[in-house]
């Protein structure tokens, strides 16, 4: 049988298994199996050559039982509807795990932003927000950065929404620049959350982080900051890859210096003192901690048997297929699932939203301390369920989250 790689089918199966394990009202799964709302839009953008080009975009709003929809918007040529729906579902689960008062949302535009000028990118961003403006708002649906979007793009989104509404609405989007309602610590939040869970996971299995070897697949915002932060704690990053290739040094690479090279050249390739390594070999490298921080379906049934690590910390969304998760767990690998490991981003997005609504801003130290406390609490909630039920960490995370969502739906009267 062919391994299932469709993310929407994967997450629906995960939802069903969790609902059955918890013996919930059948209505819970019926509500959670599909987003509450999903739109697909086509919109024109004036290009620099004077011609108009039409782009396609999506926004999925999965569930708002616990609060407004929340989730990033990605710009990528391979974005498609089922992916966006699945990612919005994972956001619902992620927020529930973290006890963040949000539901899940996600969006995307089918585009390769590298092919656009800065002016074209701004016009595309504003046009997309104009299309989805009726769906979003500070108390309704709060977008954020995702693949190939950043603080500048968020600033354009916020400005366009505010222009359409006729008043400043800083809380409509998170991940904004610091001088336009952004929160200190937001840029590194997903990475910092990953590292907090890696530290807790290492403690649970008796792994000393000092000198522990780390391999990182994907060296964008999440992978690069995770590498820098985990090195500061004494770990040794020995391999890094990006879309152009990979680098390896068994004696350690400086993630900070690699990040500086990426700023200058756009790639980790040819970093001084390293040797080339391809993506497959990096994933199968012997190391203590593997951080897949690129895209979905990187650890599958085809390579899971060859993975030689003690802990997988999922910086990306959906990098491990269910079959690979099963194989890795049977091998004794501790898999810290995406819905827990990379929840630092949405947590500090929540902090930003709170600060926007109050007009009162915290120090970076306050943000990081609050994030650490919430990540550790969430990790322990999931790990305790994992131990109690003797199930995989991913399954435990779903049980923790879906019980909270079900309780909210029950008390709101959604289940009859």
**pLDDT for position 4:** 67
Q: How far apart are CA 345 and CA 142, in angstroms?
A: 13
What domains, with CATH codes, occur in the chain? Answer: 7-171 (3.40.50.10860), 189-336 (3.40.50.720)
Phi-psi region at 282: left, alpha or beta (left = phi > 0; alpha = psi -120 to 50): alpha
The model's pLDDT over 284-338, given as tens digits with 9 standing for 90+, comes to 999 999 999 987 788 988 999 999 999 999 998 889 988 999 999 999 999 999 9
For the question of residue 106 being annotated catalytic, the response is yes
Q: C-alpha distances in angstroms, 175 versus 54, 187, 188, 359?
A: 27, 7, 11, 16
- Give the pLDDT of residue 409: 97
Mean of pLDDT over the chain: 94
What is each CA distance from 228 to 47, 241, 251, 360, in whole angstroms? 38, 15, 16, 29
* 182 φ/ψ angles, rounded to the nearest 5 degrees: -75, 165
Q: What is the pTM of this model?
A: 0.90
Query: Of 70, 85, 106, 236, which is the active-site residue?
Result: 106
pLDDT at position 236: 95
Positions in the chain short of pLDDT 50: 1
Distance set, CA 197 to CA 16, 61, 159, 379 (Å)? 26, 27, 35, 7
* Residue 1: predicted pLDDT: 45
φ, ψ for residue 337, nearest 5 deg: -70, 155
pLDDT digits (tens, 9 = 90+) for 139-148: 999 999 988 9
List beta partners, residue 145: 73
In the Cβ-directed half-sphere of 272, how many Cα atoms lie within 13 Å?
3
């Amino acid at each position: 049988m062919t391994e299932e790689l469709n993310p929407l089918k994967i997450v629906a199966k995960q939802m069903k298994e969790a609902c059955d394990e918890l013996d919930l009202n059948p209505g819970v799964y019926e509500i959670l199996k599909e987003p509450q709302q999903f739109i697909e839009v086509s919109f024109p953008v004036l290009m620099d050559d004077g011609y108009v080009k039409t782009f396609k975009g999506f926004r999925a709003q999965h569930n708002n039982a616990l609060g407004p929809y929340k989730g990033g918007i990605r710009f990528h040529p391979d974005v498609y509807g089922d992916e966006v729906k699945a990612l919005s579902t994972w956001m619902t689960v992620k927020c529930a795990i973290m006890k963040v008062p949000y539901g899940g949302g996600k969006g995307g535009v089918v585009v390769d932003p590298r092919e656009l000028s800065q002016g074209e990118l701004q016009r595309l961003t504003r046009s997309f927000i104009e299309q989805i403006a009726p769906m979003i708002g500070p108390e309704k649906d709060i977008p954020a950065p995702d693949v190939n979007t950043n603080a500048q793009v968020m600033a354009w989104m916020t400005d366009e929404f505010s222009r359409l509404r006729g008043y400043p609405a800083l809380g409509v989007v998170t991940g904004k620049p610091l001088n336009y309602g952004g929160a200190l610590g937001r840029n590194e939040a997903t990475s910092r959350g990953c590292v907090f869970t890696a530290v807790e996971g290492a403690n649970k299995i008796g792994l000393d982080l000092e000198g522990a070897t780390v391999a990182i697949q994907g060296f964008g915002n999440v992978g690069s900051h995770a590498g820098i932060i985990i090195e500061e704690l004494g770990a040794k990053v020995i391999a890094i890859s990006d879309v152009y290739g990979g680098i390896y040094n068994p004696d350690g690479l400086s993630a900070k210096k690699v990040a500086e090279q990426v700023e200058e050249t756009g790639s980790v390739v040819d970093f001084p003192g390293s040797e080339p390594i391809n993506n497959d070999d990096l994933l199968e490298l012997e190391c203590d901690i593997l951080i897949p921080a690129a895209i979905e379906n990187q650890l599958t049934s085809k390579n899971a048997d060859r993975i030689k690590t003690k802990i997988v910390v999922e910086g990306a969304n959906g990098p491990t297929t269910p079959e690979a998760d099963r194989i890795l767990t049977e091998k004794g690998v501790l898999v810290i699932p995406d819905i827990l490991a990379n929840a630092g981003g949405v947590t500090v997005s929540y902090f930003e939203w709170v600060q926007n609504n109050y007009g009162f801003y915290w120090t970076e130290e306050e943000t990081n301390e609050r994030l650490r406390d919430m990540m550790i609490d969430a990790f322990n909630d999931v790990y305790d369920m994992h131990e109690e039920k003797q199930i995989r960490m991913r399954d435990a995370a779903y049980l923790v989250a879906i019980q909270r969502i079900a309780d909210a739906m029950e008390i709101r009267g959604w289940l009859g």
